[in-house]
Every structure is written in structure tokens, then in C-alpha cells.
Amino acid sequence: MRTLLEKLREGRILLGICVMYPVAGIVERIGPDWDFVWIDSQHGQHDYHSLLESVRAADFRGVESLIRVPGHDAGSIGRALDMGASGVLVPQVDTREQAESVIRAAKFPPTGNRSFGGRRPVDIYSRSYSHTANRDVALVVQIESQAAVENAEAILSLDGIDAFFFGPDDMALRDGLPMDQPRPAGLYDESLKRMIEIGKRYSVFGGGVFASPEAFQKAVELGFSLISVGGDAGFLAEGSQKSSEKMRALLKAGTGKR
């Protein structure tokens, strides 16, 4: 099976990006720059076929793949895992009861109640893939509210949770903060520290989006090991803007026109 969890267990810090556009070529082209791609079917524009082709592209290029599913339902989680992804990222897991529900969907018996028969895993790994899937395929829950932080021990202590992914945007929104304004420095430092401490207690890895050098350094110092630093949309916009500005400056310098 895929080895994202094996790499984390070796103590590696894995760097990744979010892929929101439904184009497998993005994964094929820039995926190898990273350790994992987080393929987003919650807020991204993916359908079944673009998810499947993106996972295949990741496999082809030797990159681990996490599919963020749109919710907690067993159908979405099972379908994503049947594509042969390295794991699933499940949003807005706030309570122990919700965590238990996603474990049932993502793990085979006796840990959970995942249905057997995924076409792609059987084709690639044979019917024996279920023997090790619970150990090898990652279930990552997103912690995106103060309630989830308060319930962290109850959530992360459950057998079947492999990693958590800290979600500051939804947390800030729930705390009444605007999405288009800078946040106070150190706003969630205590929450990050608490999550990592509890995660280490139960051998659950910590992840999140840490895009600035300062945030990245702090995350590494705290012990986060599944770190997303950006995404296709941002990289596309930033690269385009820089190229446009450079060429327009040359044009202006040469002709006096914009």
C-alpha cells in the first residue's frame, strides 16, 4: 500500500500542497516537488474522474495523495479510499462521536466498517490489500473549531485516527474574525501546542497549513510533520502576476508606455 504513514513513522517532515483545480496534469507536473498532494473535493472543483486521475498521476510520479472528502458520510470516504489514495482528510471533526463515525467509514473491521471491494486497490494490490489497509492508509481528521480543540483528547485517543490537520480558517470564522484581514500574531499558538501534545501522547501525527516562513518554522519547532505550504491556485496567481509585472516593467522602460 501507499507509504505516507510509514514515512511519518520514520520521523520525516512531509511537505505538501493543495490541488483544487480538476486537472491531473497539475499533479503530474509539480507534484514531484513535494512529498504529498492534498486533492480537495470539499472546496475544490474536482469530480470523481478528476480525483481518480489525480491519484493516478500522484502514484505515477511517486507522490503521496490525500483526498479531502466533502463530509463525514461513508459513501464519500469509501469511494475516495477505493481510488487508492494514501489517505483521506475529513473536515470539521468536532466531537468524539463524529470521529467514531469517520473511523467506521475509513477502516476495515474490526476497527471500522469500511466496505471491501475497491476496484483499483484490488487491481493493483490484489484482494489481500485489506490485510494491511488499516495500518497503511491514513485517516486524517481536521480540527477546525474551539470545540474540536477542547475535545482533542477524546478524538485523538481513538483507535483509527492517524493524524489531525489544524484548520485555522474555519476556526477564525467561527470565532468571528474576517477572512480578508490579517490575524493577530500568535492567535492559535496555545491551540497548536495543545493539539501536538495530545497527538504525541497517542502517536497521532500533526498537520496543517503553514505557508509563511515564520509559521512554518514555528510548526516544525512544535513537532508538526504533515505540512502544507500552499496550493495550485496561489502558485498560479503568484507566478502569473510576477511574470506580468516584470514584462510590463520592461515594456514601460523601453517605450514609455504601459
Per residue in 123-173, pLDDT (tens digit) is: 999 999 999 999 999 999 999 999 999 999 999 999 999 999 999 899 999
> CB under 8 Å to 125, separation ≥6 — which residues?
1
The verdict on pTM exceeding 0.85 is yes
pLDDT at residue number 256: 58
Q: How far apart are CA 86 and CA 140, in angstroms?
A: 11
More confident position, 2 or 72 = 72
Contact 85, 64 (CB under 8 A): no
Please identify every residue annotated as catalytic: 43
Q: Is the pLDDT of residue 255 over 80?
A: no
pLDDT tens figures, 37-63:
999 999 999 999 999 999 999 999 999
Q: Is the pLDDT of residue 19 over 50?
A: yes
pLDDT at residue number 183: 87
Is 159 buried (19+), middle (13-18) or exposed (0-12) by CB count in 10 A?
Answer: exposed
CATH architecture of 4-255: Alpha-Beta Barrel (3.20)
Please give the span between the terminal C-alpha atoms of the chain, in angstroms, as a whole number. 55
pLDDT at residue number 1: 47
What is the overall mean pLDDT for the chain?
95
pLDDT at residue number 184: 86
Residue 236 CA to its chain's centroid (Å): 19
Q: Within 13 Å and on the Cβ side, how many CA atoms surround 73?
A: 6
